[in-house]
Amino acid sequence: MNERKGFTLIELLVVIAIITLLMAILLPALQRAKKQAEQATCQSNLHQWSLAFSMYTNDYDGRLCSGCSSYNTDDRRHWATALHAYYIQRKVMLCPSATKPYDEDALVPFGAYRGPDDVLLSYGLNGWAYDAKANDERFGRAYENFWRRLDVKDAAGIPLFLDCLHAEGRPHQTDEPPEFDGQMIAFNEADNMKRFCLNRHSGAVNCLFMSLSVDKVGLKRLWRLRWHRTYDVTAEPPVWPGWMNNLPEG
């Protein structure tokens, strides 16, 4: 009877080394493929949101909701409640890169916030899009900056709805970027651009524009979008913090 011969230790070590080498080669490619899939799904979600905004404005004489001086997303003037009946599917409320809420220790920028009825969301509105009312005290002297409707001139360069840290933000060209990648900011009126400047898609965020087109926007390019009516897109950009220095301009 012939005796069966097993693998020698050297042969096993060679096989393990080959498998380790293959994993080292394949894992970065798999990670890139995963990130690309998440980005594509995020953009698909924003396309679905374009339908919600389109249906809402069609029902309200072309106008967006009015917004409010409260941070309460359950207020009927707030976009998250005003558009509630127009949500297509609940899964489109979350970027696939940001599905865990901050209060469960999600890392910025990969976190979601709680909206109406405790529903999780990881997109936010350009707060200058509202059909703002002059009697809302928080809008004050900035009242004339609001867009109010989608059918405005050069809509393709005006952000409407995008990856966001909070439900909304009203940036200015003088806003400073986050001091470090993943900075959590409080609910305040200063530097609202930080709410959108999230390293969620390899140095970029996904954005639905007023024209209802969707595009990937590099973080530095956020300062070159026309957020409100008097926003100066030619203003000198801020001094970029170290983590943004090597990010592309586009």
Q: Is the model's pLDDT at 46 over the cut of 80? A: yes
Average pLDDT of span 245-249: 89
- If one counts every other C-beta atom within 10 angstroms of the C-beta of residue 78, the result is 24
What confidence score (pLDDT) does residue 185 get? 81
β-bridge partners, 204? 218
Per residue in 141-171, pLDDT tens?
Answer: 677 899 999 999 999 999 999 999 999 999 9
What confidence score (pLDDT) does residue 9 get? 75
What confidence score (pLDDT) does residue 30 get? 62
- Say what the pTM is: 0.85
What confidence score (pLDDT) does residue 150 get? 95
- If one counts every other C-beta atom within 10 angstroms of the C-beta of residue 150, the result is 22
Token code pair at residue 9: 């230790």
User: Residue 72: which of 105, 114, 102, 103 has the closest Cα?
Assistant: 114
What confidence score (pLDDT) does residue 39 get? 82
Pure H helices in 75-191: 79-82
Average pLDDT of span 198-204: 94
Mean residue pLDDT across the chain: 87
Per residue in 52-71, pLDDT tens?
Answer: 999 999 999 999 998 876 66
Average pLDDT of span 184-191: 75
| Domain residue spans of the chain | 9-244
What confidence score (pLDDT) does residue 139 get? 62
Per residue in 82-138, pLDDT tens?
Answer: 988 887 667 899 999 999 998 888 888 899 998 887 889 999 999 999 998 766 656
Cα–Cα distance, 125 to 240 (Å, whole number): 24
